[in-house]
Amino acid sequence: MSTLYSQLPAIDRLLRTPALQTLSAQYGATLLTRTLREMQQEARDLIRQQQQFPAWHADWPLEAATRLAQRSRSALRPVFNLTGTVLHTNLGRALLAEPAIAAVTQTARQAVTLEYALDEAERGHRDRALAALLCELTGAEDACIVNNNAAAVLLMLAALAPDREVVVSRGELVEIGGAFRIPDVMRQAGCRLHEVGTTNRTHLKDYRGAVNEQTALLMKVHTSNYQIQGFTKAVDEAELAALGEELGVPVISDLGSGSLIDLSQYGLPAEPMPQQLIASGVSLVSFSGDKLLGGPQAGIIVGKKALIARLQQHPLKRALRVDKLTLAALEATLQLYRQPERLCDSLPTLRLLTRDRAALLPLAERLLPPLQAKWGDAFSLAIAPCFSQIGSGSLPVDRLPSYAITFTPKAERGGGLDALAQRWRQLEVPVIGRLQEGRLWLDLRCLDDESLFLRMLTS
């Protein structure tokens, strides 16, 4: 055993070799030395336990290069999202438009007027520029921006209803991803839930009967991630806003996804728009920036100026505010909505959602032969019609006609598809599909870079 130990190369000798000097120039001497010491310790442990060298002992520079490359790889890696979910929460939701990417780059590179008013040469408010744009697009009096819609809901409740009651329909006490539940948020915000109606039916008289001297808000929550069908009744925002006006109680609405355009004109499911709710008299409306809006993660609140001022003055606003990069991306995204007739081309989210199934078939037909040549021995490949979904947490029940290439094992080997999916996750640019009905599906709706995709799966 001592003979094996003596054959381990010294760190200083390794560092003098040309191959490792090249690695030192690329990754730095500190990181390289730490990696070599870890390798040396691993080798010592294996000698002690099994009286043998590790498999990589014959080529220390190659192993060091491999480990350094893995360490330097970003944790946020680009992937091919072929799951069939366009706004996939785990894969980053909306893809930013090119103007938004350019705005982030420019803002990151130089000083900007984040909280500086040029006219007065004094401190300004970081939401001000975007607030004016949001007011133009929605008809609201003012706007507030925080880091996501959950934060927007929390801020509205904490600022406007501390130690008081918020009236919500029982059918709208939703849970979204990560066990985010409306009742839990209310407790964290320091207000009390007053639920009315039943799971499937709530009437205006239920809200009216619930209002008392402790009532701070009437609240609507858009149930975008599930549907109740059949014997149902809900009170719309216009009715509730009229009741709130009559009783002197503000009405707030959590739209969740939120869309600034009528999606039905593109053949997509219609979603309530913030500007519609503002026009109907709702006091505050909150929605996400990185879902149907197609921008960065953000929570947007639009509505009455006096209420927005209370949100801006609340201590939580500073904790929940967004940084300059998010503001830059969001502003550039919102600017695109000034030209709605071009959105299908300029906004990646809308382009992917409106992609016609007929246009995906030629793509599938081009991809099938090279994929069969690579994988046809072990799997049966086929082009199959399928349905994509808009989002995993937003509108998951709405389906978009699409095409996929499916992989079915030719032999009954346990874990064949799981092993294939895992192998593809280890690629330089991982390919993420979905396992369903005994097949691995690659939904082509979100595939843009055809050549890189083929290089990953056929090389």
Which CATH number is 369's domain given? 3.90.1150.110
pLDDT at residue 124 tops 60: yes
CA distance 113 to 123: 9
Using one digit for the tens of pLDDT, what is the confidence trace for 88-109? 999 999 999 999 999 999 999 9
pLDDT value of position 414? 43
Same domain (yes/no): 257, 398: no
As to burial, measured by CB atoms within 10 angstroms (0-12 exposed, 13-18 middle, 19+ buried), residue 260 is buried
**Candidate ranges 80-94, 182-196, 202-216; pick with highest mean pLDDT:** 80-94
Domain final residue pick, 344, 374, 408: 344
Domain final residue pick, 291, 325, 344: 344
CA distance 416 to 261: 44
Query: Domain with 243 in it: what CATH number?
Result: 3.40.640.10
pLDDT at residue 385 tops 60: yes
Specify the pairing of strand 284-288 against strand 299-303. Answer: antiparallel
Q: Which carries the bigger pLDDT value, residue 128 or residue 148?
A: 148
Same domain (yes/no): 139, 276: yes
162 falls in which pLDDT band (50, 70, 90)? very high
Least confident of 132-136, 300-304, 391-395, 398-402: 391-395
* Cβ–Cβ < 8 Å for 4, 51: yes
pLDDT value of position 219? 92
pLDDT value of position 172? 77
Specify the pairing of strand 399-409 against strand 379-391. Answer: antiparallel
Same domain (yes/no): 294, 177: yes
227 falls in which pLDDT band (50, 70, 90)? low
Same domain (yes/no): 29, 125: no
Same domain (yes/no): 44, 147: no
pLDDT value of position 200? 81
The encoded tokens of residue 108 equal 């990151």
Same domain (yes/no): 105, 205: yes
Same domain (yes/no): 46, 129: no
Residue 391 backbone phi and psi in degrees, to 5:
-150, 160
pLDDT value of position 231? 67
* Cβ–Cβ < 8 Å for 408, 420: no
Query: Residue range 230-251: average pLDDT?
Result: 87
Query: Residue range 34-48: average pLDDT?
Result: 94
Same domain (yes/no): 65, 158: no
pLDDT value of position 1? 60
Same domain (yes/no): 216, 316: yes
pLDDT at residue 230 tops 90: no
Same domain (yes/no): 374, 310: no
- From the list 244, 235, 222, 242, the residue with the least C-alpha distance to 160 is 244
pLDDT value of position 390? 92
- Cα distances from 305 to residues 139, 250, 254, 288, 318, in angstroms, run 12, 13, 18, 20, 19
Q: What is the DSSP string of 114-154?
A: SSEETTTTEE--TTHHHHHHHHHHH--SEEEEESSHHHHHH
Residue 458 backbone phi and psi in degrees, to 5:
-120, -10
- From the list 158, 149, 344, the residue with the least C-alpha distance to 253 is 149
CA distance 222 to 274: 12
Mean pLDDT of the chain: 90
Same domain (yes/no): 331, 305: yes
Q: Percent of the chain beyond pLDDT 90?
A: 72
pLDDT value of position 309? 95
* Cβ–Cβ < 8 Å for 21, 29: no
> What's the domain count of the chain?
3
273 falls in which pLDDT band (50, 70, 90)? very high
Structural domain for 442, as ranges: 80-89+353-458
Same domain (yes/no): 131, 16: no
395 falls in which pLDDT band (50, 70, 90)? low
Domain final residue pick, 325, 344, 363: 344
pLDDT value of position 161? 94
CA distance 343 to 354: 11
